[in-house]
Chain A
Amino acid sequence: MSAVTVPARSSLTRSSASRRRHAANHLALALMVVAFIVTVIPLALILGYVVVRGMRVMSWSFLTSDIPIVSRAPGGGMGPAVVGTLLITGAAALMAVPLGVLGGIYLHEYGGPTTRARVIRFLAEVMTGVPSIVMGLFIYTTWVLAFGVSGFAGALALACLMLPVIIRTTEEMLRLVPLDQRQSAYALGGRRAGTIVRVVLPAAAPGIISGVLLAIARAAGETAPLLFTILTVNTVNTDLFNGANTALSVQIFRNAQQVFPGPQERAWGAALTLIGIVVVFTVIARAISAVFSRKHHA
């Protein structure tokens, strides 16, 4: 145990030493409040700018129109990017969620304390730290060089980013399922796989779903892994496997670098749309986990 250092002398009358101690205390506590305020200010500023500037161009036609071919032109919309973001993120989730949940099940239900599981658990943690641009380069070298750019290539990159996150969340949530639920199922003659699928997974489902939604929200905002895997287009491309595609994040990146007001406005509009998508997913995730934890405490 670490030693607790406290000045030896402490009297009821406030000596100058005591006053200094209390002044230091108040200063430190005030600095903690300041730290929180300093953190909230950029958050408020960024959200404020995105909402105010984004609302200036936001309309149904902005969400559905094509992107102007001449990038400096004003007007137009983000239709292709909205479709691209939903399509690519959706495809990534379809790949990463089942595999990630299976991986989590392996780690908690089968692997446990074995060396193999410990290595995989460690690598999954390490993999969450791989920069997203490196995932883009990885898919470029393995997929795009062989099969060309497509929405699917972007989805692969996003899936690689989501996988370790989903594995970790699933394992954490499975850990919360009480052991006696499993034992009851086994006592009734249930087998391992059946017990996991019908008893353990449903019990952990709210937590897993909430974690998965947060991972999807993060992936939807990723830009770097999409830059060279999907390139960009100005019209809607619903074919996931053929031809270039685009996404809200990529459009924000491209338009933010333009000096003309038209593309900058489209960038703010796209940012508002993207934040909207992220917030919807995040709020649903929070709601699920809030309901779940209330049930847990009751």
Chain B
Amino acid sequence: MLELTERTAPEPLGGHRPPGRIVDRTFRALAATGGALVLVILAAILVTTTRNAWPAFADQGLTFFTSSTWDVVQGTFGTLAFSYGTLVISVIALLIAVPVSLGVALFVTELVPVRARRAVVFVIDLLAAIPSVVFGLWGILVLAPALTGTYTSVADAVDGVPLLGTLLSGDPISGRSFFTAGLILAIMITPIVTSVTRETFATVPRAQKDGALALGATRWEMIRGAVFPHSRSGIVAGVLLGFGRAIGETIAVALVIGSSPQITARLFNSGDALSAVIANQFGESTGTYQAALIGMGVLLFALTLVISMIARGVIHRAERRIGSASA
């Protein structure tokens, strides 16, 4: 309702100062251009990348998406192994990052005293401020070599166990693997998942939380009974945004995934992912090869677009619901 009064207020009476009106109009047009640019750029991304990827789409047909044969010399460009890698590392990242992020968000909203809250949030934001290439540098030179030994002992420990014995194994075991990439991604998406869920937790009405505590609930029961049901859509949105980030993240993944396209359930094997392949191979590519790499960019763009649209949609719906409930 703020906007309404504001919009009706400034119509000048009579219009005594025509030059001012021209300035007004120009400024408004400029501002509208700034806003419209978003639409123009998004449309341009879609059109130009699709057009440049077209030779590959036309040449490979559906096998571009369904084949896992990537042979530059033969001119066969199937991207399934890369899509598989992207999916696997994103799922690993979410499985680790979501519980941790929920814990951190609860820690900030329910445990930390108000005065220290700003400091804790600052620390988490600091993690978001570290450039992805620095995560990659640390991942390839420190984390990956350190994990090789751990992977070997874990694989030995679960050897023979159905499912786990396959998942947590390698053939051969490599420090640069699906799992390392997933781990690095988990660290990288924790800040965004935390901040989205933290914001929804903060909107839980005080009265509901106090009510639960007054009924004799422990703090954890209060969180399960009052905070979680209220925040379901916020959590879903946070998970989706984290998923979108994980899919699009490039440089860190390119450094630690090991660049070996294969579809395997063994998570300690080297793999490859859509974004990483573009980053690692684009420089040497020409013709259909380059078109295929751009095509993978189109695929990434479409995936992240759909995911973030759903996520934003969920957030907006939740905001409207909360807004109408408190009104």
Contacts and interface: CB of A to CB of B under 8 A. Distances in A.
- Could you tell me the dominant secondary structure of chain A's interface residues? helix
Nearest to B303: A131
A39 B104 contact: yes
Contact of B133 (A5, A7, A21, A221): A221
A203 interface: no
B282 interface: yes
A194 interface: yes
Interface in B1-26: 2-3, 5-7, 9-10, 12, 17, 20-21, 23-24, 26
Chain A: number of interface residues, binned into ranges: 35 or more
A271 B12 contact: no
Interface stretch (A26-34, A60-68, A72-80, A204-212): A26-34
A128 B100 CA distance: 24
Interface in A212-238: 214, 217-218, 220-224, 227-228, 231
A208 to B, nearest CB: 13
A83 B315 CA distance: 41
Contacts of B266: none
Given A217-B129, A275-B134, A129 B304 contact: yes
B10 A195 contact: yes
Contacts of B316: 122
Nearest to B216: A10
Nearest to B127: A43
- Could you tell me the dominant secondary structure of chain B's interface residues? helix
Interface residues of B, number: 110
Contacts of A120: 35-36, 38-39
Contacts of A196: 27
Contacts of A34: 103
Interface in A1-36: 1-7, 10, 21-22, 24-25, 27-29, 31-36
Contact of A105 (B31, B130, B140, B282): B31
Interface string B205-229: 0001001100111111111111001
A49 B138 contact: yes
A223 B132 contact: yes
B141 A39 contact: no
Given A6-B217, A131-B249, A131-B301, A193 B23 contact: yes
A120 to B, nearest CB: 5
Contact of B226 (A4, A134, A222): A4
Contact of B34 (A10, A100, A195, A249): A100
Given A137-B49, A196-B27, A256-B137, A35 B131 contact: no
Given A31-B103, A39-B187, A134-B301, 7 more contacts: A4-B208, A36-B104, A103-B38, A110-B31, A221-B131, A227-B283, A253-B251
12 contacts: A4-B222, A24-B218, A99-B37, A106-B35, A129-B311, A137-B297, A141-B49, A145-B52, A182-B6, A196-B27, A253-B133, A271-B134
The 6 A-B residue pairs whose C-beta atoms are closest, nearest first, are A221-B131, A35-B103, A131-B248, A102-B34, A103-B34, A129-B308
